[in-house]
Structure 1
């Protein structure tokens, strides 16, 4: 979410607040300045991998017509072992292989060969019903801990009308590639022969492992009372890529160009494996302190931070408030590993000015600055680079991180402190009180819980 001038409502422990202690509650209140499809999730360590997330729909116009809104469609991976129990393996550099996947929290599972205490085929497939001639809107979210999807519906075309919270010029395809944290709004016309069709999450096997990658399916029916198992087959060509939808397809409906870039942050991605595996940006792996959020320190006008907070301070260079200034962030993968990384920036939509394999050449960057793709999650190609630009117009502390859950816990993140000198004056006494109270209740409980990852 944009969280314009409400960094304190962003909900990131150790960054914008202390964690919410067990038994306590916190109400988030902010002005919605965007419309479209999004989601909320816990940012406390690996909690969202356990299913602690939900839908956010901000109603507004669409760039193509439809008849019925089917709401959010969550695609997620799933483990029968709690994510926190898998963490010991993950932090030693061995990514866990999860048991399966869910569509809107449901799927079937064959217990015959599983030591799970169940027997036979259990659970249920996600189902939805089409009426011939109607057009349906799906709001698809990749909520996986570590899973890329190539979404499709057998026998149907998909018209894509938005990426993340940005309306785009509609384009038609037979599949949509969705990386972790990304959202796509699509319209599907019920123009196939009446019957039962597989809806496929489409786990991309080249990107990560899963015990049942081909079983992440749902059902589209044209008859509400049908119980038949679909016999349709997919005609989609398997992508094999772990990145995003084609760059040239993602044309924002509202054309906006990149302005004057006055601040550049270049980050090299590397890793270290000693006792534990850690991702590093410019040789530093993120380690936040749940008991001392950066935003609280900034409000209290402390301006010296530990190196492993990975702080990048950005501010306007001109005192003229009428000028528009921009930040450029370049992250280059120097690891030599065949891993793509979905990067999410809080507090801003960003303009994707470059996204390519190979070595970044700052003397000849080849940036696209005229209405490039605009969104809030985009991928760094394996052994390549991602360059994004955003406007300096939202003072606060904003996390930028890999949206693979294990990687975020392994320190793949940095924190932008934007327009630091203005934050304290913008923070009301009631906000300060809420920040203090949340930390007080957390700190009284925190002694019982030892932080063993980056914190996010």
Structure 2
């Protein structure tokens, strides 16, 4: 059994760095075979023949160089989630946004300096690849952290949903298909803690641990609690907060919480800790126990009891956390209002939208369009019809208002920044209506809004976020439910494009990856170099459904088509089968009913093949006989 934790030995202050250092890794990304839930062995994406993936760890101000060699049979990329990449936006990682995909067999170098501390993670940002295993923790230490002297040892716990099929296969065959017109997300096959199950965390008595909690899953938010042990939150998404004691947290995909947990003096008993799926996010209940249990282990030879039954979810509401560095809500210079919707297009597939636009990747990465377009880079038109791009001025405060016209929870993540969570509604009381933000009648706010990079909007509710445009680059704002990103729930922020052209440069090996994969790397979204406003040939979303055609109508249409295909298949089988065999099977099928009819003198005998028309109308004839 894998141990609960990667221990970082020693005292509360782990590293006293005199100067910044170089942290360099050579990572070969390739397929491996693993069975983390002990239910099903499958292919996962590992690094250097290792999975779970290696912990990436450094100190604030260190320089990180990751030399990637792609040994997969498909493209890939890496995104360092929560890292601002200030001055190195070209290293952010999302394909077609800041780079071309790294083709199979190619090399790519990520090179950046970290000027922030806390709990982060890295993962693929190529299609829906990271749920196949390409995700790991990234921890940045700081000897000046405000709670540095308050703990003895450091630990981590990751939680995730887990699928037995690859996400690419699920997306193509189960999710984005005509047979799934409601857009129901695939149900996970299991849950994992630190990429395993039945986890045992060996602890010392009377010891305070700093525990980093990270949801690295694809879909499901989770509740986390430690029986008979309270926790104190001290950091969220890399932002230090005023200590907040709680018994349970609710963590969406991509969020991070750092907590202090002090162990007991009595070592005679072991205690369950539980990570539990939010079932409200699933269309049907899973076939496994969603309350995944591990144990705080004081005595390895002792009992490992079952978890207690929870009657209600009494968890921390992160809206009420207060940043350690307190700031009043920033006054916005510019506001972007978007409405979330999940709608079918005329191909019958369910897509996700901001303001009736579902994100479709351009032919040229948007950052490369910025770098090759001169003064035209300030015009959002050149970035494409379906990239949902907003061009932002330098050193402003931008407000994003998200009105959620969908009965689902959506955890939104902003690249390159943290934002203030200025206002947030509760969920609407009715799925048929939703609460829309009204600036003239603001809802409840905090004096010092919490800051983080991932927060979820309530079903049919809204939220108001604000951030400062002090980081020139091209940044995604998207739902971090990986299925919803696949559906197109993303927009692009081109922040200070003229400043980007002055301060950024694209390394030659990045262009080499584009050439190796046959990807365009200059011009507008359609790859047009001569006329940047000519978008001929760009990728766009399918056409809208005909007016008045609802999702319910699509569902009815789909299942009518399925029924028709099944019926035609039956007719084909019936018409082509051996006639005597078919007659015998029909007699056997109706024999019991005919016997009952004989008792009432109403028998309709099937004597020979002349009594049944074996033609295109054969199905009707059998129905009438029955």
TM-score range relative to shorter protein? 0.7 to 0.9
User: In 1, distance between residues paired with 2:241 and 2:88?
Assistant: 26
Q: Greater helix percent: which structure?
A: 2
Correspondence list, 1:131-280, <5 A = 131-191=204-264, 193-194=266-267, 195-208=269-282, 209-223=285-299, 225-226=300-301, 228-233=303-308, 237-238=312-313, 245-248=317-320, 250-274=321-345, 275-280=348-353
2:424 is aligned to 355
Against the structure 1 CA distance between its residues 407 and 370, is the aligned structure 2 distance closer, same or farther, given a 3 Å change threshold?
same
Out of 161, 165, 179, which is 1:81 matched to?
A: 165
Q: Which has the higher contact order (CA 8 A, sep 6+)?
A: 1
Out of 171, 184, 199, which is 1:94 matched to?
A: 184
Q: CA deviation at 1:149?
A: 0.7
User: In 2, distance between residues paired with 1:343 and 1:156?
Assistant: 30
User: In 2, distance between residues paired with 1:54 and 1:219?
Assistant: 22
2:478 is aligned to 401
User: In 2, distance between residues paired with 1:235 and 1:226?
Assistant: 27
Out of 92, 96, 105, which is 2:195 matched to?
A: 105
- The CA RMSD over aligned residues, in Å, is 2.3
2:410 is aligned to 341
| TM-superposition CA deviations, 1:121-162 (whole Å, max 9, x none) | xxxx22211111001111111111111111011111111111
Structure-1-length-normalised TM-score: 0.86
User: In 2, distance between residues paired with 1:269 and 1:400?
Assistant: 13
Check conservation: 2:87, 2:504, Cα contact below 8 A.
Answer: no
User: In 2, distance between residues paired with 1:309 and 1:232?
Assistant: 47
Q: Number of residues paired by the alignment?
A: 414
1:387 aligns with 2:464: yes
Check conservation: 1:154, 1:235, Cα contact below 8 A.
Answer: no
Question: Any gaps of 5 or more consecutive residues in structure 1?
Answer: 108-124, 317-323, 446-450
Check conservation: 2:100, 2:519, Cα contact below 8 A.
Answer: no
Check conservation: 2:273, 2:307, Cα contact below 8 A.
Answer: no
Against the structure 1 CA distance between its residues 233 and 63, is the aligned structure 2 distance closer, same or farther, given a 3 Å change threshold?
farther
| TM-superposition CA deviations, 1:175-210 (whole Å, max 9, x none) | 111011100001111016422211211222222243
User: In 2, distance between residues paired with 1:425 and 1:58?
Assistant: 29
User: In 2, distance between residues paired with 1:170 and 1:128?
Assistant: 24
Question: Any gaps of 5 or more consecutive residues in structure 2?
Answer: 1-82, 427-434, 521-538, 543-626
User: In 1, distance between residues paired with 2:275 and 2:306?
Assistant: 17
Tell me the SS of whatever aligns to 2:290.
helix
1:315 aligns with 2:398: no
1:332 is aligned to 403
Check conservation: 1:100, 1:216, Cα contact below 8 A.
Answer: no
Check conservation: 1:261, 1:325, Cα contact below 8 A.
Answer: yes
2:514 is aligned to 439
Q: Greater strand percent: which structure?
A: 1
Q: CA deviation at 1:62?
A: 4.1
Tell me the SS of whatever aligns to 1:393.
coil
Against the structure 1 CA distance between its residues 417 and 379, is the aligned structure 2 distance closer, same or farther, given a 3 Å change threshold?
same
Check conservation: 1:150, 1:204, Cα contact below 8 A.
Answer: yes
